[in-house]
Structure 1
């Protein structure tokens, strides 16, 4: 009988971890490569699980997809690794063993930039190879993204008549990371054609049990659960799972009482865990009815916006924002003098970079908080993915919301190696698009693991746009993807040619998102050379460089030239755009104040007037 027929009347025990066993023994490459280099080792692990009582084993192919194998220069061996994995599993098995071909998700906490079409293409290669080699079923496991799992599941079900187990991974006991209730997500997998649905990874038995109390028993399908051994622990600088096989078996009995019929283990589990599960479940019968505990969804009072967003401002009238970087030292007198001068010039917002060029500066959230308390000008805070992991980014967002700072520029950030501390780690758990998606969820009252924030935020998210490239079309395509991720308006790198302004307009006029065009006055000829040759995203024409070279020994002439060129740019910008973004060089705020006043004079607009 096949796997689903067997599950009609009995509890089946699956195997446990392969990867964590190999890592505990010193593995320094991907576990799947061992299918080719150490096949007897993988066969031994399979056989140890079968001898411990596993009825079901899975191929050693969880991370054997094109994208993950690229890290080990093995992307050209995808089919070879899958073929070997099935052959190894067959050698280890007996006539009563079911072999599942394992396929892991591409999108995890660090969301893949691959399109869903590319993911489907690469997944299909894995599935086709596994099925051709003769597996008894397909196991989709550790899928954080419901849409990804639904896509590959539907394609597989449409093409193959084979048992399919579809398992999601959630970092929350009630919700997926997009806020979908787990019972609703499992129901959607059943409708898409899964024979068995369930959860694996991230949680140990305790939290898995909490979740399954909310999950009803399907009418014509079955439930599965592969918990981790425990939470991770740090012991002598080594990450370890608890050796808790006895506790694990007790939890397995409770999972059976919640309707689970296929029980295995994920990270940290061993043959000992599986043996204990087998002993506790071998005399148990599947249950067909249970009392489901409803999930109590938390209600919250929605926060209302108390002021128009910068997007709303620039959509309705000419708007000026000015970047003023915080100091690299603790003398803030000139910085706050600049803030006051910008406020007096009726600038709409001051943007504060987040350790730009990976150089250490005073925290922009601290500076923004001081501005919020003591000045009338609004702060627009840059938030870089470089310096904070997913935990820190979310904590930072909650702190900004608490302070009432709602304007954010989401950026990936310059890598650490370009800055003052090239040996420092760059995090990049997400890029700017991923950060914008998290902020969008925050505005819906949901955090990144799908749990409620008990209130919504009111962030308005800007994105960066670099027009100083050889071809604008690809840059505009990236801008469009940023809009899809939740960015509402854009701020460009500084431009230095009026012709570039028109070029940007023509390339972006189809986009329904305001754009602030950047202008940064040049302070001297050496500054011009530095910007052109060393600062990413900024290029100056030969005519601009030559003009500054001619006056390089005359400070007053250099200033006049810089201000004249900047005003010409502002004239061009206001022909096509409402948004002007002035970058203050070296805290020389007098230059940006003059340019902000010039902008106001030529638009004839009272910058601070309220939107009617």
Structure 2
């Protein structure tokens, strides 16, 4: 069977050309930037949810506290999210991630807002793509790309949440697949250039997302590039569901990803041997966006932009990277330092740097 054509062939061509030329920079943490605004409950609710009910959309009932639901800000404080995207693009990011990490029904259920999943993803993608358009207009000749983020959800299909009942599961492959499909359609319709299944701690969850992605592509008769990024949870060197970096790559390679990488949980120093493993075995591009070191006793990240950039520059000089950015604790200052550090360094080489089709 012939592969599906690209949904946005012109933008894929620009992405291919940029990846062949240099190491591309992904943005940093969205949550860290939002936390810096110290928003209260009213700020999260905005006008739409000010009284817990929207007369124009009778289904919008928000009896729960909404503070902390960062994805909801796509709807209630879009200017804030647009500003974060703009700051990262100004700092040197080539790709910005949509503010949709928790935009699935299972995650939004904590707030009673499961019915908003499609809208959250749609608006998240629109905001990211609009920020990229503005940055491109300001700096002609430098394309920017919106990554549609698909988070891991708060449940695991491989591990029981009840230590007294190892066989119990509070979700299933099909339930996750159906949930992910709604989110994915929203991201695609909102204008995402790339989809990224990220912060993967359970590969079965990721496989459900990848299956849903293929369903969405088949329904449209066209596809987008797909990135996959796992999480090594601790010094064991494995994901929560027990895979090494090499095993993780093998288990998702069937999806023909643009890139496989690692993010979150660890800082660059701790992540390096696992990125090196991926760089050795992956037949696609390799990405890394680690945390700004390990959290301190107050769950804060102390690693400075220069410290983090120095470590990631060594990754690049060692030929490990095609895409690099930051996760928890990183800011535009970190991304600016990282972009400066890898500028002019060649990307990890492959026989061909064409996007896998």
How high is the TM-score relative to the length of structure 1?
0.45
Contact kept? 1:105, 1:143, Cα under 8 Å: yes
Q: Against the structure 1 CA distance between its residues 39 and 178, is the aligned structure 2 distance closer, same or farther, given a 3 Å change threshold?
A: closer
Matched pairs, number:
286
Per the TM alignment, residue 5 of structure 1 is displaced from its structure 2 partner at its CA by 4.5
Contact kept? 1:86, 1:101, Cα under 8 Å: yes
1:15 aligns with 2:27: yes
Paired position in structure 2 for 1:263? 324
Paired position in structure 2 for 1:123? 180
Per the TM alignment, residue 117 of structure 1 is displaced from its structure 2 partner at its CA by 0.4
Q: Against the structure 1 CA distance between its residues 59 and 189, is the aligned structure 2 distance closer, same or farther, given a 3 Å change threshold?
A: same
**Deviation readout 1:93-146 (Å, 9 max, x if unpaired):** 233110010010123598571111010001011111111222101011111001
Per the TM alignment, residue 91 of structure 1 is displaced from its structure 2 partner at its CA by 2.5
Paired position in structure 1 for 2:5? none
Per the TM alignment, residue 217 of structure 1 is displaced from its structure 2 partner at its CA by 4.2
Contact kept? 1:29, 1:72, Cα under 8 Å: no
Contact kept? 1:140, 1:167, Cα under 8 Å: yes
Alignment of 1:444-483 (within 5 A): none
Q: Against the structure 1 CA distance between its residues 159 and 41, is the aligned structure 2 distance closer, same or farther, given a 3 Å change threshold?
A: closer
Alignment of 1:301-380 (within 5 A): none
Distance 1:191 1:164 in 2: 12
Distance 1:85 1:182 in 2: 30
1:242 aligns with 2:254: no
Q: Against the structure 1 CA distance between its residues 231 and 110, is the aligned structure 2 distance closer, same or farther, given a 3 Å change threshold?
A: farther
Paired position in structure 1 for 2:257? 194
Contact kept? 2:195, 2:226, Cα under 8 Å: yes
Structure 2: any 5+ residue segments left out of the alignment?
Answer: 1-12, 40-66, 137-142, 162-168, 218-222, 351-357
How high is the TM-score relative to the length of structure 2?
0.75
**Deviation readout 1:207-266 (Å, 9 max, x if unpaired):** 11122232334564100111011211234xxx3111411011111112222421111111
**Deviation readout 1:362-394 (Å, 9 max, x if unpaired):** xxxxxxxxxxxxxxxxxxxxxxxxxxxxxxxxx
1:181 aligns with 2:244: yes
1:227 aligns with 2:308: no
Distance 1:137 1:115 in 2: 26
Local SS of the residue matching 2:266: coil
Q: Against the structure 1 CA distance between its residues 219 and 182, is the aligned structure 2 distance closer, same or farther, given a 3 Å change threshold?
A: closer
Contact kept? 1:165, 1:195, Cα under 8 Å: yes
Distance 1:154 1:252 in 2: 32
Per the TM alignment, residue 8 of structure 1 is displaced from its structure 2 partner at its CA by 2.6
Local SS of the residue matching 2:112: coil
Per the TM alignment, residue 23 of structure 1 is displaced from its structure 2 partner at its CA by 2.1
Q: 227, 249, 253: which one pairs with 1:165?
A: 227
Bigger Rg, structure 1 or 2? 1
**Deviation readout 1:283-337 (Å, 9 max, x if unpaired):** 1011338xxxxxxxxxxxxxxxxxxxxxxxxxxxxxxxxxxxxxxxxxxxxxxxx
**Deviation readout 1:552-573 (Å, 9 max, x if unpaired):** xxxxxxxxxxxxxxxxxxxxxx
Distance 1:110 1:51 in 2: 43
Contact kept? 2:93, 2:335, Cα under 8 Å: yes
The higher relative CO (CA closer than 8 Å, separation ≥ 6) is in 2
